[in-house]
Amino acid sequence: MHNTNLAFFHNYVTNVNLALDMGSFAKVKAIHGSVLHCRWSQEGSKDHHVVLKRLQIANCDTNTSKDRIVCVAQRGDIKMLDSDDAFNEIGIYALLMMQPESSPHILRMHGCVLENNHVWLVIEYADGGDFFDFVQARHCRCEPLEEAEIKFWFLQLVHAVHFIHARGVASRDISLENIVKVGDTLKLMDFGQGVQTHSSFGIAFRYKRAAGKILYRPPECFVPDREVIEIMVPPQFCTGGALQVMWDGYLPEVMLPRSALPSHPCQATVWGYEAVPADMFQVGICLFVMCSGMNPWRCATLSDECFRFVHGHPDDGVFRLLAQLPARPMSDEAIQLLSSLLWGDPRQRPTMQLVIASSWLE
């Protein structure tokens, strides 16, 4: 179960155009940092706009060893190793492009250009910018999204995430900042922290390294920086499977020994997290931001007042939190779906198939 291969998607890099003769690129403007909006010219083809993202070759083998994250477990509040892997991002884009059926909601990669100590990732240009800026602008104008608009945009995110999950890929970094607009179409991007969801036998992989933006990170992804922790066994404990427990203000998942007794202390093995439920929580945060224009909390730990309140009121906590924010009233079906996505316990969150079949989206 812990025998994860973080370099798995490197295998697909060989299918990518790494040629130096992809034409010429003229910078239009810097988007941010090493991400550039450029005009791409190729002989015999019409010029068109693309984005160039510079990746360090030194970061192209960040995840070359098997199970590295299990050996180097990092909690979210201490300095951690870089979860981004340049070849990982390129490989996942290549894998998704190879599929017989493509998705209009995944940003397209055109290829890569090698230059000295860098790889320039050439990707589709999104004329509408990132979706977070779009949502924020609406709220700044005191024009929050109507429920019908939220459903329109959210359904596109759902299709994007369903597409990658169905192909064994989890992002671990889903956020409105990693979604861009091309006209009226949303596209998911940035797979540098992507991982396999399951083994070839259908067994869910578990991970220990913190990933994604802290505002979107699920509670189980704050993994203790040790192999074993002492916890109090919950009264309702039943043997078998991973169990989420409270520990030092966090909600990690652990595996209890066979000798564990309800309401007694024991030494539990830190068990990491599954990537698909983590993605689903991040999808829920995206939906909350669409509704309110802001994140529900700073950090999904028990030290955060807003998260602690919602976690302690699973039935109506999200509704009561939204009621205090400048959000339009949402239907009961929408609030019910949002609440299910933001469950602190990953085992209680719906899969993407259940989200698609929910009464709000059907």
Task: Answer whether 205's CB lies under 8 Å from 198's CB.
Answer: yes
Residue 69's pLDDT band (cuts 50, 70, 90): very low
Q: Which of 57, 169, 150 is nearest to 106 (CA)?
A: 169
Q: What is the pTM of this model?
A: 0.91
Provide the residue type at 341 as one letter.
L
Tell me phi and psi for residue 314, to 5 degrees: -65, -25
Q: Walk me through the domains of the chain, giving residue ranges and CATH numbers.
A: 8-124 (3.30.200.20)
Mean pLDDT of all residues in 205-212: 94
Cα dihedral 25/27/31/33 (nearest 10): 80
- Strands, DSSP E only, in the chain? 24-32, 35-41, 48-56, 109-115, 118-124, 169-170, 179-182, 185-188, 195-196, 206-207, 228-232, 243-244, 253-255, 265-270, 273-274
pLDDT (0 to 100) of residue 1 = 46
Write out pLDDT tens, residues 256-314.
998 899 999 999 999 999 999 999 999 999 999 999 999 999 999 999 999 999 999 99
Of 27-36, 128-137, 342-351, which gets the smallest average pLDDT? Answer: 27-36
What is residue 49's three-state secondary structure?
strand
Task: Answer whether 251's CB lies under 8 Å from 303's CB.
Answer: no
Dig out the tokens for 92 from the structure: 């996942």
Q: Is the pLDDT of residue 64 over 70?
A: no
Please state, in angstroms and rounded to a whole number, the distance separating the CA atoms of residues 61 and 84. Answer: 10
Mean pLDDT of all residues in 154-180: 97
